[in-house]
Chain A
């Protein structure tokens, strides 16, 4: 590399440092690979540019969204029809073209006639045009409409300290896409009926899905247009900073939004599979596996060729047994939702999982997860049917543990791994930590996963430290990254 860096390299290096800021682990090698990759593609081809960067810089699909956002911000102003500022009216252009080709099955008024292009359309005309574009699935027209709609409805003004979502909301409110969808469906139904072929529910569903997908892509165009304008106004770096969001693995379980929760749920499956593999593995020095010939022969040389010292491979894995004991009290409500998802995912990976939930009493909920296909259903049953309240429904770990020990303690055996999930906020009740000690005696391992930041541990009524004495490991577990670390630790 030379010291006179091209503007492109400058931009690229800004782009890569923003990826790192966003949490993507981009190594130096990968940085160099990206720079080399783009020398092999036509740089004006925006799509090629994008996949060349993605292939070299993003090695985890969960990071794709973060990558895309940063890419949009850094490179949205590049490339022909993405130019901004001149406010070329591509809608007018398209309308002219359409008229040139004759009326394209446009029943009626002939919109956009009389010059002035997109800006001259009445709101009714624009709505009609949108309707037609969605009906026909005309992508070019939809893109042009998206730009026009933003110009018209978003009310964007330079320098206003307002986020993109606000503009998006304003634009969408004016377009009223729900009503448009209804109209599209009605028209489609009527048309089929007129032809003596009324839509079956299946056909209706497929039509609706198609329209929804078109509407979704219109929304994407609108978002992209808003972002382009914001970038032009505020500059690349400021925009990138505003749009930064935690990566999926860094989202705090306690504060996850509904949408984030769905994402987390999906990410849990591969993780629990890994957990399954890890727990199934025997410790390396246990029983012996099959003979390792290579090693045996090698060692035979020191005995004059007599295979005197047989060498063995590592043994086969075994079937683990897991007890999950989870706090579902109010103080960890959000975590509990996650916990139950975790339990659900685990119970689909392992053959022997038993699930227990507690507040001040404890109940087994294993059956709620068995044969249940929908985790929300299981969670609902746990929350409504599990008998976990003893006195007042305020956390009492001590009592819950005692009750647990009395009812289920004997069933813990040397193959059992016990995972306790909770914040150990005990409302100043007695800890009864002897139960955890007993568990440790009987079980293979006892682990504690705590959803609170480590700095809060043992403050106020948290007594996690006391329990930790009898655990084989205590882990802060506030996000997927930490959960993964726990899984790795089991190796």
Chain B
């Protein structure tokens, strides 16, 4: 790897955690620790975990905390080089080629070729942009599990060497090593090659105390008691086998709704009338209502498994 002399950004793990808290991101030791290590080891972080657990937000918050510009590549099925790395401005190229045609004494085709494959004709996409940046940046490659395995190959060079090879131009090497986050909702197994290049961070649903803190931080005006109840109920829901467990964003939505409705303590009625905010499937709602009803036997069946 080229030594670009990027200075460490963080003093200590504690500094990461506190800094994140200042920008309203509540990290546990593991999250803060791995961000710290990624900076020290100059390695990308692959953040994996269920949807809505703060993976994307982590990258954004780290950017905010370090005063870096966030460059985001949102992945989707069918994403290709021309949208991820760079693309040649074909219209401009065609015009240039047209302009030269038929003119005697004009430049040779060789010269035209060199010309139209130069910087002026290059459209920079997020990955290249991050590599070329002069200012501090955080690169977020979001939901990388959505691209096809073959497309992952586009990322490998950047992730290990912080550089991009453009056949027509040569290799562009990063002037500074950006912090890179890749997120995945784990809808498929990523390639070994990609994983090898990254530190791995599994972000799960937060424990109850952290979730309560998140609610308190992100929902202005919520009382401690209500935040506590929200966190408690959500934790219990997550222990059921549901099609989709409530995520942090859903806890937040729920807390906001309860606040708007002027609810001070959640009772069974409120819980069931607002359950659709926490749970997205009718069957999940039905299951939850059944579990939390008077049925003692139903409650007995339940046993929290190991995490």
Q: Enumerate B1-60 residues with CB–CB distance to A below 8 Å.
A: 13, 29-30, 33-34, 36-37, 40-41, 43, 46, 48-49
Q: Are B283 and A40 in contact (CB under 8 A)?
A: no
Q: Are B90 and A213 in contact (CB under 8 A)?
A: no
Q: Are B299 and A205 in contact (CB under 8 A)?
A: yes
Cα-based distance from A462 to B171 in the complex (angstroms): 58
Asked if A294 meets B82 with Cβ closer than 8 Å, knowing A55-B201, A373-B287, the reply is: yes
Q: Are A373 and B33 in contact (CB under 8 A)?
A: no
Contact of B200 among A59, A212, A262 (CB under 8 A): A59
Q: Which chain A residue shows the least CB distance to B117?
A: A298
Q: Are B304 and A304 in contact (CB under 8 A)?
A: no
Q: Which chain A residue shows the least CB distance to B149?
A: A491
Q: Enumerate A287-310 residues with CB–CB distance to B below 8 Å.
A: 293-294, 296-297, 300-301, 304-305, 307
Asked if A40 meets B41 with Cβ closer than 8 Å, knowing A201-B293, A209-B304, the reply is: yes
Least distance between B229 CB and chain A CB atoms (Å): 8
* A365 CB-CB contact with B under 8 Å: no
* A60 CB-CB contact with B under 8 Å: yes
Total A-B pairs, Cβ < 8 A: 133
Instruction: Give every chain A residue within 8 A of B118 (Cβ-Cβ).
Output: none
Q: Which chain A residue shows the least CB distance to B237?
A: A209
* A406 CB-CB contact with B under 8 Å: no
Cα-based distance from A373 to B243 in the complex (angstroms): 8
Which residue, of A29, A30, A51, A55, has the highest number of chain B Cβ atoms within 10 A?
Answer: A55
Q: Enumerate B42-82 residues with CB–CB distance to A below 8 Å.
A: 43, 46, 48-49, 77, 80, 82
* A208 CB-CB contact with B under 8 Å: yes
Contact of B187 among A33, A51, A273 (CB under 8 A): A273
Q: Are A202 and B304 in contact (CB under 8 A)?
A: no
Cα-based distance from A314 to B268 in the complex (angstroms): 53
Q: Are B37 and A37 in contact (CB under 8 A)?
A: yes
Q: Which chain B residue shows the least CB distance to A220?
A: B306
* B267 CB-CB contact with A under 8 Å: yes
Cα-based distance from A216 to B307 in the complex (angstroms): 10
Instruction: Give every chain B residue within 8 A of A209 (Cβ-Cβ).
Output: 232, 235-236, 239, 304
* B189 CB-CB contact with A under 8 Å: yes
* A206 CB-CB contact with B under 8 Å: yes
* B294 CB-CB contact with A under 8 Å: yes
Asked if A47 meets B196 with Cβ closer than 8 Å, knowing A61-B186, A296-B90, the reply is: no
* B97 CB-CB contact with A under 8 Å: yes
- Chain A: interface residue count, which band? 35 or more
Q: Enumerate A451-468 residues with CB–CB distance to B below 8 Å.
A: none
Least distance between B29 CB and chain A CB atoms (Å): 6
Asked if A202 meets B267 with Cβ closer than 8 Å, knowing A52-B33, A209-B236, A213-B304, the reply is: yes
* B233 CB-CB contact with A under 8 Å: yes
Least distance between B270 CB and chain A CB atoms (Å): 10
Instruction: Give every chain A residue within 8 A of B291 (Cβ-Cβ).
Output: 205
Contact of A297 among B93, B109, B201 (CB under 8 A): B93
Cα-based distance from A55 to B33 in the complex (angstroms): 10
The 4 closest A-B pairs by CB, nearest first: A373-B283, A305-B97, A59-B195, A293-B90
Q: Enumerate B77-109 residues with CB–CB distance to A below 8 Å.
A: 77, 80, 82, 87-88, 90, 93-94, 97-98, 100-101, 109
Q: Are B29 and A305 in contact (CB under 8 A)?
A: no
Q: Which chain B residue shows the least CB distance to A269?
A: B187
Q: Are A304 and B33 in contact (CB under 8 A)?
A: no
Q: Which chain A residue shows the least CB distance to B199?
A: A55
Q: Enumerate B109-167 residues with CB–CB distance to A below 8 Å.
A: 109, 112-113, 116, 148-149
Cα-based distance from A277 to B189 in the complex (angstroms): 13
Least distance between B155 CB and chain A CB atoms (Å): 15
Type the 1/0 row for B184-201, where 1 means its CB is closer than 8 Å to any CB of A: 001111001001101111
Q: Which chain A residue shows the least CB distance to B270?
A: A202
Contact of A294 among B13, B87, B198, B232 (CB under 8 A): B87
Cα-based distance from A182 to B209 in the complex (angstroms): 25
Instruction: Give every chain B residue within 8 A of A270 (Cβ-Cβ).
Output: 186-189
> 13 new A-B pairs (CB below 8 Å) besides A47-B30, A51-B29, A205-B291?
A33-B43, A40-B37, A48-B13, A51-B33, A55-B33, A55-B200, A61-B48, A61-B49, A208-B299, A209-B236, A270-B187, A293-B90, A305-B98
Least distance between B8 CB and chain A CB atoms (Å): 9
Contact of B109 among A202, A294, A296, A304 (CB under 8 A): A304
What is the total number of residues of chain B having a CB less than 8 Å from a CB of chain A? 67
Q: Enumerate B258-298 residues with CB–CB distance to A below 8 Å.
A: 266-268, 271, 281, 283-284, 287, 291-295
Asked if A56 meets B199 with Cβ closer than 8 Å, knowing A201-B292, A373-B287, the reply is: yes
Cα-based distance from A56 to B239 in the complex (angstroms): 29
Least distance between B266 CB and chain A CB atoms (Å): 8
Cα-based distance from A202 to B234 in the complex (angstroms): 12
Instruction: Give every chain B residue within 8 A of A37 (Cβ-Cβ).
Output: 37, 41, 199
Instruction: Give every chain A residue within 8 A of B82 (Cβ-Cβ).
Output: 294
* A64 CB-CB contact with B under 8 Å: yes
Q: Are A294 and B88 in contact (CB under 8 A)?
A: yes
* B210 CB-CB contact with A under 8 Å: no
Q: Are B292 and A205 in contact (CB under 8 A)?
A: yes
Contact of A61 among B88, B94, B202 (CB under 8 A): B202
Q: Which chain A residue shows the least CB distance to B291?
A: A205
Instruction: Give every chain B residue within 8 A of A256 (Cβ-Cβ).
Output: none
* Complex A-B: 12 CB contacts under 8 Å: A30-B196, A33-B43, A47-B29, A51-B30, A55-B201, A56-B199, A59-B196, A205-B292, A270-B189, A301-B109, A305-B94, A307-B94
* A89 CB-CB contact with B under 8 Å: no
Cα-based distance from A39 to B298 in the complex (angstroms): 50
Instruction: Give every chain B residue within 8 A of A213 (Cβ-Cβ).
Output: 304
Instruction: Give every chain A residue within 8 A of B268 (Cβ-Cβ).
Output: 200-202
Cα-based distance from A294 to B93 in the complex (angstroms): 10
* B303 CB-CB contact with A under 8 Å: yes
Least distance between A226 CB and chain B CB atoms (Å): 16
* A274 CB-CB contact with B under 8 Å: yes
Contact of A55 among B37, B100, B192, B236 (CB under 8 A): B37
Instruction: Give every chain A residue within 8 A of B116 (Cβ-Cβ).
Output: 297
Least distance between B145 CB and chain A CB atoms (Å): 9
Q: Which chain B residue shows the least CB distance to A298?
A: B88
